[in-house]
């Protein structure tokens, strides 16, 4: 999935382990062009927040790769890329959601990172974006979401 037309349809939610749609008041987010940012809005923010987009998993069965450049500033907790696979029934059972992340702490210059995750046949949604836990700021630019061919099974 290319993001040539800019980043839109972002949702600011509570981070992993928090209820989706909780609207974390301790964080703020912005997106413009091919760049998105998530930052703490309180001196000592509670919990964590994610700035994510969601797509149906059907086009990504097998494996998905989420990549992008991110940078952090004064990240007290973890900050970086995140990807979640929500399997059918995820609305009713939290164990039907798998969270994956590439995170750092402190201040880091722009670096290209990626997450590759298997997408099972019962996957419903893929949510991808950036995560921030604690004070600081994280930026994302040039994101890409693509299907990865898992390739042949060894010995098969």
Looking at the domain 11-147, which fold is it?
Jelly Rolls (2.60.120)
DSSP for 26-80?
A: TEEEEEETTEEEEEE-SSS--SEEEEEEEEEGGGG-EEEEEEEEEEEEEEEEEEE
DSSP for 106-150?
A: EEEEEEEEEEEEEE-TTEEEEEEEEEEESSSEEEEEEEEEEE---
pLDDT at 84 over 90: yes
pLDDT at 6: 47
User: What are the pLDDT digits (tens) for 33-54?
Assistant: 788 999 998 888 888 899 999 9
Q: pTM for the whole thing? A: 0.82
Q: What is the DSSP letter of 18?
A: S
pLDDT class of 64 with cuts at 50, 70, 90? very high
pLDDT at 68 over 80: yes
User: What are the pLDDT digits (tens) for 121-155?
Assistant: 999 999 999 999 999 999 999 999 999 876 665 65
pLDDT class of 99 with cuts at 50, 70, 90? confident
Where do the domains of the chain lie? 11-147
pLDDT at 2 over 50: no
């Amino acid at each position: 999935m290319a993001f040539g037309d800019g980043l839109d349809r972002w949702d600011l939610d509570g981070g992993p382990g928090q209820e989706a749609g909780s609207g974390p008041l301790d964080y703020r987010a912005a997106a413009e062009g091919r760049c998105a940012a998530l930052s703490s809005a309180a001196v000592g923010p509670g919990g964590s927040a994610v700035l994510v987009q969601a797509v149906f998993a059907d086009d990504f069965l097998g494996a998905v790769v989420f990549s992008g450049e991110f940078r952090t500033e004064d990240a007290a907790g973890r900050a970086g890329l995140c990807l979640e696979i929500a399997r059918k029934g995820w609305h009713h059972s939290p164990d039907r959601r798998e969270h994956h992340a590439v995170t750092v702490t402190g201040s880091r210059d722009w670096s290209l990172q990626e997450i590759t995750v298997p997408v099972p046949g019962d996957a419903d949604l893929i949510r991808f974006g950036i995560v921030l836990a604690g004070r600081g700021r994280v930026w994302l630019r040039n994101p890409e979401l693509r299907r990865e061919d898992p390739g042949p099974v060894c010995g098969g």
